[in-house]
Structure formats: C-alpha cells, structure tokens
Amino acid sequence: MKIDSIKNGIVIDHIKAGEGMKIYNFLNLDKQDCTVALIKNATSKQMERKDIIKVDCFIDLTALGYIDPNITINVIRDGELVEKYHPELPEKIVNVVRCKNPRCITTTEQELPHVFKLTDAGRQVYRCIYCETKAER
Amino acid sequence: MRSLISILDLSVQEIDELIAVANDIIDNPKNYAEKCHGKKLATLFFEPSTRTRLSFEAAMYELGGNVLGFSEAQSSSAAKGESVADTVRTVSCYADIIAMRHPKEGAPLVASMNASVPIINAGDGGHNHPTQTLTDLLTIQREKGRLNNLTVGFCGDLKFGRTVHSLIEALSRYTGIKIILISPEELKLPSYVKQDVLQKHNIEYVQTTDLEAVMPELDILYMTRVQRERFFNEEDYLRLKDSYILTPEKLQTAKSDLAILHPLPRVNEIAVAIDADPRACYFRQVLNGKFVRMALILKLLEECV
Ligand SMILES: [Zn+2]
C-alpha cells in the first residue's frame, strides 16, 4: 500500500492498533483542509500491528501525551525528517475528558470547561481541578 | 489576593502563623476588636449550615466588621439559575471577602476564579472544609501544646468523613505523627487516602476495629458519627454502633491528658456523661473555630500586620 509522502507536516507513528480513529477524532482531523491519511493495522517491528496517521500540515498536538505517551511524532519539513519525539504528559488537559463525579460543580454548570491536572506523573494520574476525581481512561 | 479552597493551599508555616494569631486573639481580644472596621464579609450559603455560618459571622463581628449574605439557595439568585461565577462577580462589588458553602464539589474554586475578593471555602459537599481542619489543628495545638510527636486516633466513619481525610492530610506534614484508624470494616479509610497521604509521607499507621484496645496509646481521639444510612442493613448497624460510642467505661484506660475532639454535631457517639470530663474538648473546639476564622479573615484581608 502506497501513500504519498509528506512534504511539510507530521507523522504520528506507533499508535496502538485500533486507536488510530480515536486519535483522529481527538485531534479533530475531520476539520483539517490539508491531506490526512489514517493507516490501520500496519506491520511494525516493535508492536506487530500499529496505526499511523499522516497529516500534511502542522497541527496542535499538546494533549496527545494524555492519550498515549508511547506514540512517536515525526516532524517533516521539505520532505526531510527533522524531529522525532514522544509526546510529553501535558500538565493540564481542557475539555478532553469529562468529569464523571455526579457531585461535581461541572454537572450543574454546563458552561464550565472540564479541566484535569496531572497530579502524579509516575502513575499518569489526572484529577479534576474542581472535585479531584481521577480521570478514567 | 488569595483564597482558601483546600487546607493544602496553606503551607505548614502559614498554618503555624494562623495558629499564633488565633492564640494572640484569644489572649488579647481588645487588640483585634476594630481590625476590620468598615469591612464586610459576605456569607453565601447555597446550602444551610447554621453552625458554620454563625461561626464566620461571629468572627467578623468580633473584628469590628459587618456581615451580609444568604443562608440557603432558595433565597439567592441561584434559585433563578444564576451561575456561581456571576453570583460572586456581583457580590465582589459589595463585600471585601466571601465565605461560601455549596452542595457541589469545586464550587468555591469556581468562585475564586471569578471573584475580585478572597473566597473562603466553608464546605463544598463532601469535598473540602478547610476551616474545620484549621479549627481541629488549633484545638490540638492548644490542648497539647504541639502539633508534632502525637498519636492520633480517628474513630467512627473514616470512609465518608471528609473532616477526617483533611485532618490526616494536614497532620501528615508534621513530624512524629502516628495515626490509629478505628472503624468497622464497612467504614474504613479509603485506600486512596492511605496511598496518597499516609504512605506518601511515610506516616506510621495502624488499622483496627477495637477502640478499647488502642485507647491507652492515644494522645488525641477524634470521634465522628457512625450514620445509620451508611450501612446496607439495620442488623449490621445495630451490631456495630455501640462499639464506636465513647463511654466513661471505655475511657478508663485512656491517658490522663488525652484530648477528645469531635467536629459536631454529635448524636450519640459520645455519651453526655463525658462532657464534664476535662479531656472533652469539643465545646472548646467550637470556640476555637471562631478564633481561627478571625485569624484567617485577617490574613486574607492582609490586615494582620
Ligand atoms: Zn469534577
């Protein structure tokens, strides 16, 4: 299977097989005008099967580390790989996860942003800033 | 401008300073009688809690200030569907400081993000109640003369008791603290509190179901209510409730300088016969609550120089 190579953009590699669509939606890629390719079940030396997303432009990836810090991000400029990194765990995520605690103020005040903060980097624990309920993955 | 939402918003040093100011207020009330002259405290109680509200209002009056506010949501604009953010923006125009109680967890934090005056969390659902914890700390300090090197027993409902979780959190920042957790199996301290607080700070702790067995060790006994509705069936409740009621007989093996605390209101978990015992501190604790709130208001209004 052949996909046009990217000139200026990013390749999100080593996505757990089956998680590609989730990340596609999470990054709102349906709203992008540039070329986007979602590759499912590619063969991988490291993980047997993986998903890959190619985006032919630059987009905001700040919250990606919350979804999976093991993903690899490749940055391509003028057709050359210029940077390769794993996303960091973001300190704060806004409107990515919704608080499930029925006693939380976010349940009665609909316009409040759902904000979670990283409280334990080792165990990747995020807690609601309002009620401290743990984010469920 | 600062607010107090959780007890952990205050450093140990700031807590020690508040306790020092509260002790000075107790010794020299006249020096503080006009400190907040011309200042207004708004008590915004979206759910009723007469005890806490009166404590805040008495505190402000004793500082020479004034008080305005409401005592239940029905009499506020919240009944018309106004957001917490809008309510506190409005009240910020009338008051210099706000004490807020709300049934929803996190409401005071939302208030502090939108108000232009300091917010004091006066209880948000089952979440935080930092002025209760300050009250408990002042009481322990006054009764024992220290906040370190203490064996502290918590008895009753350790599962849902937010005052317990928050006091354990506050005490775990002091040295030489040993915690003894006394409760029925059904109401044990949640594992996240053990993991995130006790184990994280290397606090020595013991779990038991037997109050009498640990009584001789205790410097502090913090009693809480065991509520009928916490049990799945009436049988379990009836079987267990008496084990967690403090009686003069159970106190026989206690230290002579034990301090018995209770966040009140009490139902029957401390026999009335104990009230006359000098080790019963819970009514002095109520009074301490007013003094520590005075110290806190001064600190947040930066009048405390
Ligand atoms: Zn929440």
d(CA B56, CA A10): 57
Choices 3.40.50.720, 3.40.50.1370, 1.20.210.10, 2.30.29.30: CATH for B131-285: 3.40.50.1370
Interval B121-169: pLDDT, tens: 999 998 999 999 999 999 999 999 999 999 999 999 999 888 999 999 9
Residues of B annotated as catalytic (active site), given as ranges: 51-52, 80, 101, 129
The residue in chain B having the minimum alpha-carbon distance to the alpha carbon of residue A109 is B83
Interval A103-136: pLDDT, tens: 999 999 989 999 999 998 888 899 999 999 999 8
What local confidence, expressed as pLDDT, does residue B156 receive?
Answer: 93
Residue B280 CA to ligand 1 center (angstroms) comes to 38
CATH code of the region B7-128+289-300: 3.40.50.1370
Who among A103, A111, A130 is closest to B109 (CB)? A130
Instruction: Name, in order, each residue with C-beta under 8 angstroms of B192's C-beta and a sequence gap of 6 or more.
Output: none
The CATH 3.40.50.1370 portion of chain B extends over 7-128+289-300, 131-285
Residue A73 CA to ligand 1 center (angstroms) comes to 31
| All domains in chain A, ordered by first residue | 9-85 (3.30.70.140), 92-128 (no CATH)
ipTM of this predicted structure? 0.90
Instruction: Name, in order, each residue with C-beta under 8 angstroms of B129's C-beta and a sequence gap of 6 or more.
Output: B121, B122, B123, B162, B163, B166
Residue A109 CA to ligand 1 center (angstroms) comes to 11
Q: A57 at the B interface (CB within 8 A)?
A: no
Instruction: Tell me the whole-structure pTM to 2 decimals.
Output: 0.89
Who among A105, A111, A132 is closest to B104 (CB)? A105
User: Taking Cα atoms as reference points, which of A54, A59, A57, A60 lies closest to residue A15?
Assistant: A54
The residue in chain A having the minimum alpha-carbon distance to the alpha carbon of residue B200 is A120
